[in-house]
């Protein structure tokens, strides 16, 4: 352990600060001295070279936030599942291929970030994390989302972008508190109608898919601020229905085969201006039903 690292740990021990930041310290193992800091509530270990954690980490009974992003984990160390007070866990930018069902032991978890890994499936046990507000599974290799995850009814934000999804669970409408839904960079050819029952949505990302139709039921999302439809296969738009969205501040349409100058779609026009263009020039958006 180098002098700087030793000083950081000693100072924390003396001052009993609830946060210890050891990010970017070049760690290949966690110094055991950290496990003696039983007052810790937040521990940042991101951007190191960690592949395991000592079992003594269970001494940190008060730990509420653990950041392990940007390390070399291929699986979650079992000791994590014994951190009963944990509310936020970030393990993004690692090499996780599997997620243990023991994740269900973290009953207090509010935020779980597993983005940018190599996960091919999500265990049903995740559905037992009933306190989750944020779940980030983006940029993995998922081809299927268990319908049981739709039981996470306290979710406010769900990110599934950057996977290999062709279908979504029809039970999505159970996530009635959802405000942010990221579905970009998948293989979706349609969106289940139940998505448009999520009336609290403020952000809906559908970019970089293969969508050919945007249903008129989009008008049900009366709280929508941001709608990202870039790089799909949309030829028509339900203009009148989109105009019924009173809070829409950003509408992104570039990269679709709409009969309109690319400059119009890529401009910073407000949604009302952009949609008015289609109204004024009906030949660009013929007979949408």
The conformation of residue 140, written as its DSSP 8-state character, comes to S
Check residue 283 and give its pLDDT. 55
Is the CATH number 3.80.10.10 carried by domain 142-280? yes
Cα–Cα dist 101/22, whole Å? 28
- Contact predicate 94/72, CB 8 Å: yes
- Contact predicate 183/138, CB 8 Å: no
Compute mean pLDDT per 10 residues along the chain, 289 residues long, and list them: 86 93 96 96 98 97 98 97 98 97 98 98 97 98 97 98 97 97 98 96 98 96 97 93 94 88 62 71 53
Distances (CA, A) of 71 to 31, 60, 74: 16, 21, 9
Residue whose C-alpha is closest to residue 2's, from 25, 29, 20, 33:
25
Check residue 289 and give its pLDDT. 38
Region at 162 (left for phi over 0; alpha for psi -120 to 50; beta for the rest): left
Class at the top of the CATH hierarchy for domain 1-136: alpha beta
Q: Do domains 1-136 and 142-280 have the same CATH topology?
A: yes
Per-position DSSP letters for 204-235, written without gaps between them: EE--SS------GGGGG-TT--EEE--SS---
The ranges assigned to domains in the chain are 1-136, 142-280
Q: Which residues contact 266 (CB under 8 A, 6 or more apart)?
A: 254
């Amino acid at each position: 352990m180098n002098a700087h690292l030793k000083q950081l740990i000693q100072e924390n021990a003396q001052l009993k600060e609830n946060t210890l930041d050891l990010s970017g310290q070049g760690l290949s193992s966690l110094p055991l001295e950290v496990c003696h800091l039983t007052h810790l509530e937040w521990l940042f270990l991101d951007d190191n070279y960690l592949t395991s954690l000592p079992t003594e980490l269970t001494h940190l009974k008060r730990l509420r936030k653990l950041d392990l992003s940007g390390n070399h984990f291929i699986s979650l160390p079992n000791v994590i599942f014994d951190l009963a007070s944990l509310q936020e866990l970030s393990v993004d930018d690692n090499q996780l291929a599997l997620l243990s069902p023991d994740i269900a032991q973290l009953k207090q978890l509010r935020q779980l970030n597993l983005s940018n890994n190599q996960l091919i499936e999500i265990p049903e046990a995740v559905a037992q994390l009933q306190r989750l507000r944020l779940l980030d599974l983006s940029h993995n290799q998922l081809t299927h989302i268990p319908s049981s995850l739709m039981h996470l009814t306290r979710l406010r934000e769900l990110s599934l972008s950057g996977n290999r999804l062709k279908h979504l669970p029809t039970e999505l409408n159970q996530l009635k508190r959802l405000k942010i839904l990221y579905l970009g960079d998948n293989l979706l050819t349609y969106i289940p109608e139940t998505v448009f029952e999520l009336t609290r949505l403020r952000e809906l990302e559908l970019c970089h898919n293969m969508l050919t139709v945007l249903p008129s039921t989009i008008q049900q999302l009366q709280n929508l601020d941001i709608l990202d439809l870039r790089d799909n296969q949309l030829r028509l738009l339900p203009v009148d229905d989109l105009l019924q969205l009173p809070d829409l501040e950003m509408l992104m349409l570039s990269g679709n085969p709409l009969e309109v100058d690319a400059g119009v779609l890529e401009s910073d026009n407000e949604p009302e201006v952009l949609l008015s263009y289609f109204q004024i020039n009906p030949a660009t958006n013929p007979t949408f039903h």
